[in-house]
Amino acid sequence: VRDNGAGFDMAYIGKLFGPGGFEKQLVIKQIHPDLAEHQHFVDMFVAEAKTAVSLTHANIVAVYELGLVDSTYFIAMELVDGVTRAELLAAARKARRTLGPALSGHVCAEILKGLDYAHRRPGKVVHRDLSSRNVMLSRAGEVKVLDFGLAATVDSVDERGTLVARAETGRPIGSFPYLSPEQVERKSLDARSDLFSCGILFWELLTGASLFRRDHDYDTLAAILSAPIVAPSTIAPAVPAALDEICM
């Protein structure tokens, strides 16, 4: 079992059985029990399933089913045999290694393929929570984006042009070190917000360092808005100029 890092849902490894000895491993994700009584979170969970099930792409984790058992919603989804980008980077840091420019560029390019597909779908789906824990790397070399739990279509806006889904506390929603400036300031969003978040991931892959993460949430959000961003090669001299330019 694993939570998603934000305490919103829980995920379990499950198995689907069929006739003739058919078996398939998958992930069963359900809303966290502490939040299941709050309709706001239930609505977000169901919205994730409705959005994700319509996305069929090699670089997006597949969602098979939305179900309800004993008043608890669950999502059945693809099991990726691998690690999150956060886990891979943590292992690299522990070994005092970086992934290197070639592998970092490959991972970023594969993420962008999945995002481009979502952005071009009817309604132009914006992920809004692209982060280190929402990118999976399989042992077979696949790169997949998951957890469209905060995704919204560009059409889902209020009369002021702002995306309607908000955290109840008024804080920005999403993983703080990977938010775009527009998310921090709670402005209207489009696909460029996801590209900014992808740029953060790319910078961190190339350097092995954290770009905006600080000890306190307030400082992290302030850094996104105003901290200087140096070219990756400033920290990792092996990064070629072409990847510097793409990342920046």
Catalytic residue among 43, 81, 129, 147: 129
Tell me if residue 9 is catalytic: no
Q: C-alpha distances in angstroms, 238 versus 77, 206, 233, 244?
A: 38, 9, 7, 10
Q: Which position has the token pair 């506390």?
A: 169
Burial of residue 174 (CB within 10 Å: 0-12, 13-18, 19+) is buried
8 A C-beta contact, residue 120 and residue 207: no
Tokens of 70: 């004993």
**Nearest 5 degrees, angle CA 110-CA 173-CA 64?**
50
Active site residues: 129
